[in-house]
Amino acid sequence: MLGYLARRLVQSAVILIGITMITFILSFLIPADPVRMIAGRSATAETVESIRHQLGLDQPIPVQYVRYVSRLVQGDMGRSYVQKTEVATLIWSRLPATLLLMAGAIAFELMIGLPAGIYAAARRGRIGDRGVMLLSFTGVSAPQFVVGLLLLYVFANLLAWFPLGGYGSFGHLILPALTLGITGGGWYSRMTRSSMIDVLGQDYIRTARAKGSSETRVVLVHGLRNAALPMIAMIGLDIGIFMSGAVVVESVFGWPGIGQLAWQAIQRIDIPIIMGVTLVAAVAIVVGNLIADIATSLFDPRVRLG
Amino acid sequence: MSDVWRRFARDKAALVGATVIVIIAVSALAAPVVAPFDPNEQFFEGLTLAGAPRPPDAEFWLGTDLLGRDLFSRLVYGARASLIIGVAANAAAVLIGTALGMTAGFVGGWAGSLIMRFTDLMMAFPALLLAIALAAILTPSLWIVALVIALVNWVQIARVIYTQTRSLAERDFIEAARSLGANWPRLVLRHVLPHLVPTILVWSTLGIATTVLLEATLSFLGIGVQPPTPSWGGIIFESQSYFLHAPWLVFFPGAAILMLAMSFNLVGDALRDALDPTQRGRG
Amino acid sequence: MIFWGNEYREETMRKTLLAGAAALALSLVVVGPAADAAPQHGGQMVVTYKDDVSTLDPAIGYDWQNWSMIKSLFDGLMDYEPGTTVLKPDLAESYTISDDGLTYTFKLREGVTFHNGREMTADDVKYSLERVVDPATQSPGQGFFWSIKGFDDMASGNASELSGVTVIDPYTLQIELSQPDATFLHVMAINFSFVVPKEVVEEYGADFGTHPVGTGAFRMTDWTLGQHVIFERNPDYYDADLPRLDRIEFQVGQEPSVALLRLQRGEVDILGDGIPPAQFLEVMGNDEWMDNVIEGGQLHTGYITMNTHMAPFDNKQVRQAVNMAINKDRIVQIVNGRAVPANQPLPPAMPGYDPNYEGYAYDPDAAKALLAEAGFPDGFETELYVMNTDPNPRIAQAIQQDLAVIGVNAEIKSLAQSTVIAAGGEEDQAPMIWSGGMAWIADFPDPSNFYGPILGCGGAVPGGWNWAWYCNEELDAMAAEADGMTGEDQADARLEKWRLIFISIMDDAPWVPVFNEQRFTMHSDAIAGETDEIFVDPVHIPVHYDYVYSTAAQ
């Protein structure tokens, strides 16, 4: 395991470097001039060129890349072209919101998915099972922005139970997290259902029955234990997905996460921010995937690691 | 084959899904006949004097949008964008993914490893950000949007195909054929590909659900197909600021997206179950 | 936060209610007409914005959100009478201009202090001006100071100071120009010229934008990224009457529709982003809230540019035909009446505007005929670039439909703002651009600001903002002449000249002026201004923070 982890670490480092390279190139491929955006509309040609020179944007791209990476390893993510604030500060200020949303989303996915899956497994083959699975499908087939707007309309506008978007209190978190929970919960319910069904036919159920223990309890305990690792795997993948910017949900609810930051940065070609957010998101994905892979292999020994 | 069909047909929900797809596809094709109005025509009477859209009524069955255009007509024509992009993007993703996965799995060695490392790299790339960046670089049009979605989606398919090809390639008959000197393209096409067909088939349907959703999302962010081409996500994008007052502009297109994605999900899922009976124990 | 604010307000209200009662009792004794006294100080207000404040560094800040905030934290030599476009001295107590219009001598007020306690002197003004011109600062406003002697040397990095700026004594500053510039006093009023303390700038470097220290009526006491910025009154401000409020809380990350509901509930005082489009009609039709909305003009014009270097827009008749084809009333309807149709480049609020000019009337038939005369009886194909944020794609589609009526098939290219700007700056890329989202709002209330970068030959260069690539040497010469007319007695003649310049431009029709956005500021009952114009101040947008006062504190 240690050897595997070490190898994955090295792989991850390589992957992250690759991602910085690709992001860098993509940023420069955008057909617009970041310097023009900084210099504004009343700037003279000299001003523009001097800003370009100051930011080192007149250097060839490989040179700029090397400079960026060498600063990065020293912990310097650079400064926003437009605001001049340090990228690290900007990302740091938005990270709590993103993490909070992620936690809320995963919580809702579990709160929706687990009971649904258990119920479906218990009613296996019957209407209840089909119904729940159909609902799960509906959830994952729904576009996030539609679910989000629907929730806003009903619960924030008509019923006024929750604020109409924004950030600051627990109440602000409910609707956006619920949106993500609804659209992602379906996967969890399916997985839980499979895990429960697996357990149903096992020997220890019969043994427990013979011993007189409540069947429900045994099924639940063993089923959930069975589901634990796949669940961790799914959560791992979710971490990656949510950290890479829940741009849509952030946009609908006005949630100040890093997704919005990245979106604005791409619009304005604020390259340091684009690089910073992509890197942070990629790290999250890599870590999440690692968790998922380890959990999967522990669960299913047939799946070889590496 | 008939076995597969029989198993598939047992899934009633999947049948409904398939029907829905057919209905949407037909009405998209026959849009000029199905839609009561030109989807791009901005009617003077489509807006109130103050510039607000009209709710559903006898003339405009699903109401009008913020430019006074008939929503129902736009929805019908919008199916074209969703279907064309959804299908094309997924086909491209499957093509790229299969090609890369198969090559890597079959060739193996360091070349195969390299391809798979590249796949890992792309998998770690935040998908939506990549789509947004690509959309900023390329001028969006119907096919460019499909391309962008394909470029974001091919990774998963590649991995699955790779694993399957790997295990196939290690089987004896391949070794035997190789030692007999058969050239490998023929080997791949004749002996590997047929075994991959079920997977490819499943991905070809399930994947469309994802691409349809992604197209809607990109349009919702304003970086989808160019106006005035109707697009379900695009209608919601344009109507967002009004949605508290004209919710029909969000919910009708939203329902359409949901129906289409769900239908492909149901069909693809049933197909997977039908093609691989061993999975049934978990189904 | 809000809870704290309400408590504060209740506390203040209680205190002032008592004080008010006492005053009322007293006033019953004192008979006679009340003098025109300045409003009482006190109270606070909450302003909401959707986006975070980007920077409060006067040399860098250039978006409409921080523009007015910076004006409250800092001062310049000149300013404007509140609610108007009339210049008045600010940090300068008085000034003299030499007869040849080349030398300005400013007498500074004495006893003005920075928020850190140090007194401001002429050295500080010189430092601040040089800082903006210094290329190391990367200030987007550098170009405004072109007329100061020594600008070229310093801007290109060859000099470390502005030779034209001389400190005569701690309270006297002399600025020499390289040529007479009628806009110079406006430049001395613009944010980029505001005075900053050298020691604080050096201490914070690039982070000065988040730690602003100036001489303004307010000081910044807190900035929590992504949440709020707090201003508190500067007790040592040179004008003891200002500011009227004790405290302003800028809450960011607020969706406009949410902010509106909160305003109606009394939690918010001013909607920084204005009234959201969907609720606009509802609010304007609501008796209860109608009076809380002040309408005012902006120094803004939304226009379609036609690239005169790309066929067929090199043909004047084609451009004129397009002008006649656009149904501006319908476009105004699409934006819910929040604008007025425009027929010339200058907005009505701008000096030099011609109220009698009729422009090109909407007449699709005549447009078609003209197009046929120009050699395009069957129309032609072209492209219309637009920024991809709502409502601009919608407006572009309305334009597209109008063009289709006369046979012009315009394909819409809806792209990111930076991409459209870049395309406009290329000579052969964008035949037509709808300026929405990137439209020109004047930096200062003078017609010359609407000319140079967007209609003058100087802007028709790669990377420039003259997207019509329009270059009329004659008009350029007239413009230079007009800006050389610095005498006070020449002011009217100068405006007349500018009026002529812009009307001549309309004859060439490189643009289709479409509308001028109106500003609608909604405020709560807790806040008032001596005149309505404070809420739609053309320069201190959206609201002149120094002059609004709390009704509760009266």
Q: Which residues of A touch C51 (CB under 8 A)?
A: 264
Q: Which residues of chain C have pLDDT under 70?
A: 1-37
- Predicted pLDDT at A228: 85
Q: Select the residue of B44, B228, B240 nearest C390 (Cβ to Cβ).
A: B240
Q: Which residues of A touch C183 (CB under 8 A)?
A: none
| Cβ distance of B243 and C397 shorter than 8 Å | no
Residue with tokens 């934008």: C209
Q: Select the residue of B49, B227, B240 nearest C414 (Cβ to Cβ).
A: B227
The residue ranges of DSSP E strands in C35-124, in sequence order, are 44-48, 78-80, 87-89, 92-97, 103-108
Q: Select the residue of C253, C443, C453 nearest A256 (Cβ to Cβ).
A: C253
- Predicted pLDDT at A156: 84
- Predicted pLDDT at C22: 41
B209 in contact with chain A, both atoms CB, cutoff 8 A:
yes
The bridge status of strand C549-550 relative to strand C339-341 is unpaired
Least confident of A134-143, B152-161, C317-326, C536-545: C536-545
Please give the distance of CA A6 from its chain centroid, rounded to a whole number.
Answer: 24
Q: In this complex, how many residue pairs, one in chain B and one in chain C, have their CB atoms less than 8 Å apart? A: 76
> Is it the case that residue A75 has pLDDT exceeding 60?
yes
Q: Which residues of A touch B86 (CB under 8 A)?
A: none
Q: Which residues pair with A126 in a beta bridge?
A: none
Between residues C115 and A302, which one has the greater pLDDT?
C115
Chain A contact probe: residue of C255, C451, C455 with most A CBs at under 10 A = C255
| Cβ distance of A27 and B133 shorter than 8 Å | yes
- Look up residue C547 and give its amino acid: Y
Burial tier of B84 (Cβ tally within 10 Å: 0-12, 13-18, 19+): middle
Q: Select the residue of A137, A267, A281 nearest B126 (Cβ to Cβ).
A: A281
B119: left (phi over 0), alpha (psi -120 to 50) or beta: alpha
Q: How far apart are CA C513 and CA C518, in angstroms?
A: 15
Say how many CA atoms lie within 13 Å of C428 toward its Cβ. Answer: 0
| Cβ distance of A137 and B262 shorter than 8 Å | yes
- Look up residue A150 and give its amino acid: L
- Provide the H-helix boundaries in A123-244: 127-141, 144-151, 170-200, 203-211, 215-243
Question: How many Cβ atoms are within 10 Å of A124's Cβ, its own excluded?
Answer: 14
- Predicted pLDDT at A142: 93
Q: How far apart are CA C489 and CA A269, in angstroms?
A: 47
**Which span out of A220-224, B243-247, C158-162 was modeled with the highest average pLDDT?**
C158-162
Q: How far apart are CA C495 and CA C51, in angstroms?
A: 37
Q: Select the residue of A33, A54, A85 nearest C422 (Cβ to Cβ).
A: A33
- Predicted pLDDT at C343: 94
* Mean pLDDT value of segment A71-97: 90
For residue A212, give the DSSP letter: T
Q: Please give the share of chain A, as a percent, with pLDDT higher than 90.
A: 37
> b vs e for C253-284, b when ≥16 Cβ sit within 10 Å of the residue's Cβ?
bbbbbbbbbbbbeebbbbbbbbbbbbbbbebb
B134 in contact with chain A, both atoms CB, cutoff 8 A:
yes
B75 in contact with chain A, both atoms CB, cutoff 8 A:
no
Residues 6+ apart with CB under 8 A from C93: C107, C108, C109
Q: How far apart are CA C399 and CA C383, in angstroms?
A: 12
Residue with tokens 């508290």: B244
Structure tokens at C215: 């001489």
> Is it the case that residue B249 has pLDDT exceeding 50?
yes
Within 209-238 of A, beta carbons closer than 8 Å to B belong to: none
CA distance readout (Å), B271 to A107, B4, B17, B264, B268 = 31, 8, 12, 10, 5
Q: Which residues of A touch B265 (CB under 8 A)?
A: 137, 140-141
Q: Select the residue of C157, C209, C461 nearest A84 (Cβ to Cβ).
A: C209
Residue of chain C minimizing CA distance to A257: C226
> Is it the case that residue A114 has pLDDT exceeding 80?
yes
| Cβ distance of C226 and A94 shorter than 8 Å | yes
Chain A contact probe: residue of C133, C142, C389 with most A CBs at under 10 A = C142
Mean pLDDT of chain B: 87
ipTM: 0.87
Q: How far apart are CA C479 and CA C454, in angstroms?
A: 13
Q: In this complex, how many residue pairs, one in chain A and one in chain C, have their CB atoms less than 8 Å apart? A: 127
Residue of chain A minimizing CA distance to C420: A32
The bridge status of strand C339-341 relative to strand C408-415 is unpaired
Between residues C156 and B88, which one has the greater pLDDT?
B88
Task: For residue A212, name the pLDDT band (cuts at 50, 70, 90).
Answer: low
C414 in contact with chain B, both atoms CB, cutoff 8 A:
yes
A254: left (phi over 0), alpha (psi -120 to 50) or beta: left
Q: How far apart are CA C399 and CA C384, in angstroms?
A: 9
Residue from B258, B268, B266, B265 nearest B75 by CA: B258
- Predicted pLDDT at C46: 94
Each residue's pLDDT tens digit, A233-271: 899 989 988 887 688 998 888 888 898 888 888 888 899
Structure tokens at C31: 């008979």
- Predicted pLDDT at B184: 66
> Is it the case that residue B129 has pLDDT exceeding 80?
yes
> A211 vs chain C: nearest CA distance in angstroms?
59
* Mean pLDDT value of segment B174-186: 67
- Predicted pLDDT at B181: 66
Task: For residue B173, name the pLDDT band (cuts at 50, 70, 90).
Answer: low
Burial tier of A255 (Cβ tally within 10 Å: 0-12, 13-18, 19+): buried
> C207 vs chain B: nearest CA distance in angstroms?
28
| Cβ distance of C209 and A83 shorter than 8 Å | yes
C278 in contact with chain B, both atoms CB, cutoff 8 A:
yes
| Cβ distance of A15 and B129 shorter than 8 Å | no
- Predicted pLDDT at C3: 26
- Predicted pLDDT at A301: 65
* Mean pLDDT value of segment A69-94: 90
Q: Select the residue of C210, C453, C461 nearest A42 (Cβ to Cβ).
A: C453
- Predicted pLDDT at C163: 93
> Is it the case that residue A152 has pLDDT exceeding 70?
yes
- Provide the H-helix boundaries in chain B: 2-9, 12-29, 31-34, 71-107, 109-124, 127-137, 142-169, 172-179, 184-187, 193-220, 232-239, 248-275
Please give the distance of CA C381 from its chain centroid, rounded to a whole number.
Answer: 36
Q: Which residues of A touch B120 (CB under 8 A)?
A: 11, 15
> A251 vs chain B: nearest CA distance in angstroms?
9
Q: Select the residue of A54, A167, A267 nearest C253 (Cβ to Cβ).
A: A167
- Predicted pLDDT at C30: 38
Q: How far apart are CA A141 and CA A154, in angstroms?
A: 20
The bridge status of strand C87-89 relative to strand C78-80 is antiparallel
Residue with tokens 């949440």: C227
